[in-house]
Every structure is written in C-alpha cells, then in structure tokens.
Amino acid sequence: MTESNKSNITRAADAEQMRQQDYIARVRTIIEAMPARPKAYVETYGCQQNSADSERLKGMLCDMGYEMSGDIKSADLVLYNTCAVRENAELRVFGNIGALKHKKAKKPDMLIGVCGCMMQQEHIAKTIKSKYKHVDMVFGTHALRRFPEILFCALGKTRVFDTADEAGTITEGIPIRRDPPPLAKVSVTYGCNNFCTYCIVPYVRGRERSRSAEDILNECRETAEKGYKEVMLLGQNVNSYGNDLGAGLSFSELLEQVCRIDGIERIRFMTSHPKDISDRLIEVMAREKKVCNQLHLPIQSGSDRVLEMMNRRYTRASYLEIIRKVRAAIPDIVLTTDVIVGFPGETNEDFEQTLSLLKEVEFDMIFSFIYSKRVGTPAAEMPDCLTDEEKHANFDRMLKVQNEISKRLNERYLGTVQRVLVEGVSKTSINTLTGRTEGGKVVNFSCPEGRGSLVGELLDIEITDAQTWSLFGRLKA
Ligand code: SAH
Ligand code: SF4
Ligand code: F3S
C-alpha cells in the first residue's frame, strides 16, 4: 500500500469515528430523558469473531446509556448477532425472531435488531424486511460501526436496513465491553480471501484486511492492564496476517511481540489454514513459553479429491507433514481440527479416507459438521453422490471413532498435575470451578463454596477423572 493510500484510509477512519461519537452522544441524550435506564440484551450466534463483534455492540450500547442484561424477558432492546455458516444456525435465528413477535405486541416500544453475517446476504435481509415486520433494525457486518446511527433512527421510529457491501474497511476505536477476565479476544485480521467452495464467510465478511501491528499490540497491552491473562488472536486465517500490509510483521513476528507484553501469560490463536502455516510459526510456538501448546488446524477432509473440490489448496500428504513437524517441535501439542462430512461429490471411499486420517493423526478433539448448502457458493451447484441417510450414518460412525480417541488421549492426563487458568464457576454447581489447561482442555474441579475469587488465577490441579470432552480434578494442596 502506498503512503498516500494509507493516509486516505486513516482520514476516512477518523471521520467515521467522529460520526460514531456524534451519534453515541445523540442517543445518550434520548436515553437520559427516559424515566428509567433501558435494558439491552445481545445474543451471539456465531464464531469468536462474531462474539468479538458482540463485545463492540455492547460497548456502544453502554456508552449510549443502556444497561446490559442477560435476561431477554426484561429487555427494552434485543439484538441478535447472527451467523450464516450453516443452515441450522440460520434456522435458530429465524425461530427466535419469530418468537419475539408476540413479545413486541405486548411491549410495542421494545426495539428489535438483527445484525451480523446472515444479514450480509441479500435474500435473508429481504425475507426479514417483508416477513418479519416487527424487526426494527437490520444491519450487516460492514455496518457494525454505524450501529449508533442505526439505533438513533430506530428510536425515532424509522425502520433501518443497512446491509451494503463495503468489504474494504477497518474501523478502530469502536467502544468495547469485553466479557470479564481472564480471556480477551483480539482480532488481527477481518474477512477471508480463500473462497473454500462450501464457505459463505468471504461473502459476508469481505476480503481479508489486517489491522496494524501497533493497533493490535496496543489492544493487547490494554487488556493486560485490565487484568486479562490470556489473549486469543483472531482471524479466519491468522497465518496470512500482514500479506496486505506490504513490509511489516508476519504473524509469527506479531506473536513474538505479544509475548513481550507483561501481564499476558497465555496466548492462543485461531484459525490457522494449513496452506499458510510457516516453519517459523512452529518454531516460535515451540520457543515462546507464553504461546500455548495448542493448534487448531482444520483439515475438512482426508481425501485429496475432496480437498481439491473444496479449493483448500493442500493435500493429505502436505497436511500430515505439518502435523509431523509440529509434533517433532512440540511433543505435548494438543491438536484439534474441523471436518465436513457429506460435501457434494464426496463418496463413501472419500469418507473412508477422512476416517483413516483421523485414526492416523489422533486429534484431541474434532469439530465436525454435515455439509450445509450455502446460497451463492460454488459447492451449492455441485451434485451430491450420497443420500442424507448415508451422510448421517457416516457422520455417526466418525463421531464414534473420534470419541474413543478423545477419551483415550484424555486418560493420559490421569494422575498428572496441570496448570489451569480458572475461567469461571461451573453452570451446574457453584462448588465447581472450570478452567483450561495450557493445551486448551477443559478442567472442572470442585472447591468449597465462596471460592469464586479464584477466577482468573493459574492453579495446579491434579487430574482425577477423564471424560471424552473434559477432565476433572482437585486443587493441589
Ligand atoms: N476460517 C476457518 C473457519 C471458518 S468456519 C477455517 O478456514 O478453518 C468454521 C468451520 O465451519 C469450517 O472450518 C468448516 O469446517 C465449517 N463450515 C464452513 N462452511 C460450512 C458449510 N457450508 N457446511 C458445513 N460446515 C461448514
Ligand atoms: Fe471459509 Fe475457507 Fe475462509 Fe475458512 S479459509 S473462512 S473455511 S473460505
Ligand atoms: Fe463467524 Fe458464522 Fe460469520 S462462523 S464469520 S459468525 S458466518
């Protein structure tokens, strides 16, 4: 990027920021004139990036005078931050928006907003406009920074639709209200250039843009000062960080810089694309103590034929070579992956190759999905080989194989002492705390009532039980 281009972008961003602040102040004036402070409820449907966007939405809402509420029943404003990656996520959103119709009939002043990835698809925004008339605000991922302006119009009883495709922007300085410590999410890139043939993300998030290293490092420093001990660096493909910035830090160099920040004790990142993972990244992961011994490396399929149809741009052999290098450099690495079953054109032979790859690698955990057709993606036009019944049968078989591997790998931790960063009190019992090992494994451990103050601490936990999805343990005396 040339200097003059760069300064144009900065000026545009500054103007956007001033406009945002102006609308935040205007909404605040309206809110302050209300008899009681209104409550806002924000629900996140998607990935970590979606959740990071929700933290910005909440930040703007708080600055505008709203009180955040975890209870939808008492909310004066409901905001659904949606995900478009698979059909079931979309169906859930439609169901929940439908259910709000009666609520709004009883409470006409309630505002309803739907935003995020789903809204960046034209056919969805149109459906909401015509069939869900009780929705007041519809805005896509590119309009996030304009939320105060959108809300200002909605408070003035104007229905707002802001779903334009402006794929090229980054706006810094949007207010943020993070989830409480110890984990902080920090975006390094937005969007994606890879166009895997099944995936909607590049269409709803736009082309890949890297944030400046300075902005990322400043955000990491701020979180450390606020008591966050763990940072999760986010991007659809973190390994291509900086490719659009010309000369600058690569992802592995950025990672080293984050390690130098006092107060941050653990660093994770996701997602890594196998085609872009560098030897230098593996070397930094092995060398830097703060970088967790965990790698999420989506394979999607074990068949070269399917990987090619998916446009993944690596092969089974090159993927296995990365795994070999990672394990050689970091012997205790915890490996996780994503797998799609039933991609169009996938045969039973292709599926067998995925199964054999899972057995060969032995991932600690997999995130598996049955292929979901996404409007506008190339795979949506490809013919199927297998029936839905066959796809489901393969899926179930795969889970059985993987669950056995996950449980067996977890049992290796029995009797060991693990350093666990405590994330919170368990949802099922106030006497149980939950946290993660350096490898990212969930550990539940009991502790007497009133020990919630241990949240955010790094503790030594002796592992006493191992299940498929989590470990159990006790606090070392
Ligand atoms: N950028 C990340 C992940 C993006 S979406 C990556 O490249 O790995 C998270 C996961 O959802 C993907 O890894 C893939 O396994 C799954 N996924 C994406 N589109 C899908 C679709 N149309 N049907 C089923 N699963 C899908
Ligand atoms: Fe989707 Fe592929 Fe981009 Fe991941 S890398 S977001 S799967 S297009
Ligand atoms: Fe994430 Fe779903 Fe969007 S996975 S990027 S919220 S489509």
Please report which ligand is nearest the Cα atom of 300.
1
Whether 137 shows a pLDDT value over 70: the answer reads: yes
16 and 105 inside one domain: yes
Q: What is the DSSP string of 89-154?
A: HHHHHHHHHHHHHHHHHH-TT-EEEEEEGGGGSHHHHHHHHHH-TT--EEE-GGGGGGHHHHHHHH
Whether 199 has a binding-site annotation, put simply, is: yes
Residue 472 has a pLDDT of 97
Q: How far is CA 67 from CA 31, 107, 372, in A?
A: 11, 18, 37
Beta-bridge partner residues of 39: 67
Q: How many domains, in total, are found in the chain?
A: 4
Instruction: Express each pLDDT in 340-381 by its tens digit.
Output: 999 999 999 999 999 999 999 999 999 999 999 999 999 999
- Which of the ligands is closest to the CA of residue 193? 2
| Alpha-helix residue ranges (DSSP H) falling in 260-303 | 279-287
Residue 173 lies in a domain: no
Residue 46 is part of a domain; what is its CATH number? Answer: 3.40.50.12160
Partners of 466 in the β-ladder: 471
Specify the DSSP class assigned to residue 416. -
Ligand positioned closest to the Cα atom of 235? 1
Residue 467 belongs to a domain with what CATH number?
2.40.50
Beta strands 442-446 and 160-162, pairing class: unpaired
Are residues 270 and 384 located together in one domain of the fold?
Answer: no
For residue 29, give its domain range. 3-162
Q: In angstroms, what is the span from residue 201 Cα to ligand 2's centroid?
A: 6
Q: Are residues 75 and 142 in the same domain?
A: yes
| CATH code assigned at 407 | 3.30.750.200
344 cis-preceded (ω within 30 degrees of 0)? no
Q: Are residue 148 and residue 214 in the same domain, yes or no? A: no
62 annotated to bind ligand: no
Name residues whose C-beta falls within 8 Å of residue 460's C-beta, 6 or more positions apart in sequence: 417, 418, 419, 420, 475, 476
What's the average model confidence in pLDDT over 38-49? 97
pLDDT given for residue 209 in this prediction: 95
DSSP-derived secondary structure letter, 180: P
pLDDT band at 167 (very low <50, low <70, confident <90, very high): low
Q: What is the pLDDT of residue 450?
A: 59
Domain membership flag for residue 125: yes
Residues 44 and 112 in one domain: yes
Q: With both helix axes pointing from N to C terminus, report the angle between 147-155 and 3-32 in degrees, rounded to the nearest 10.
A: 30
Looking at per-residue pLDDT, the higher value among 5 and 46 belongs to: 46
CATH of the domain at 188: 3.30.750.210
User: Is residue 211, in this structure, part of any structural domain at all?
Assistant: yes
Average pLDDT over residues 7-21: 74
Packing angle of the helix pair 388-411, 348-361 (nearest 10 deg) = 10
Count of positions (residues) in the chain: 477
Structure confidence at residue 150 (pLDDT): 98
Q: Quick check: is 170 in a domain?
A: no
Q: What is the pLDDT of residues 223-281, one digit of tens each?
A: 999 999 999 999 999 999 999 998 899 999 999 999 999 999 999 999 999 999 999 99
Query: Considering the domain boundaries, does residue 168 fall inside one?
Result: no
Whole-number Å distance, alpha carbon 260 to ligand 3 midpoint, is 31
Domain boundary among the residues 292, 311, 346 is at 292
Q: Which residues contact 357 (CB under 8 A, 6 or more apart)?
A: 299, 302, 316, 319, 320
**Statement: residue 204 has pLDDT above 90:** yes
| The amino acid at 457 | E
Q: Is the dihedral of CA 402, 435, 424, 236 positive or negative?
A: negative
Per-residue pLDDT, 84: 98
Question: For all residues of the chain together, what is the average pLDDT?
Answer: 95
67 lies in the same domain as 145: yes
Q: Could you say which DSSP state residue 194 is in?
A: -
DSSP code, position 300: B
Domain shared by 52 and 112, yes or no? yes
Q: What is the reported pLDDT for 428?
A: 78
Look at residue 98 and tell me whether its pLDDT is greater than 80: yes
- Under a CB-based contact definition with an 8 Å cutoff, are residues 64 and 27 in contact? yes
- Domain identity same for 362 and 445: no
| Residue 172 lies inside a defined structural domain of this protein | no
148 belongs to a structural domain: yes
From 381, 411, 441, give the residue that closes a domain.
411
Ligand 2 atom 5, closest CA: 194
List, in order, residues 6 or more apart from 116 with CB less than 8 Å away: 45, 46, 50, 53, 80, 81, 82, 83, 84, 140, 141
**Residues 258, 319: one domain?**
no
For residue range 68-82, list pLDDT tens digits in order: 999 999 999 999 999
Same domain, 281 and 327: no
Does a structural domain hold residue 171? no
47 annotated ligand binder = yes
Q: From 138, 162, 186, give the residue that closes a domain.
A: 162
CA of 335 from ligand 1 middle (Å) equals: 17
Do residues 105 and 205 both lie within one domain?
no
- pLDDT for 417 beyond 70: yes
As a whole number of angstroms, the distance between CA 430 and CA 45 comes to 26
What pLDDT is recorded for position 1? 38
User: Residues 405, 421: one domain?
Assistant: no
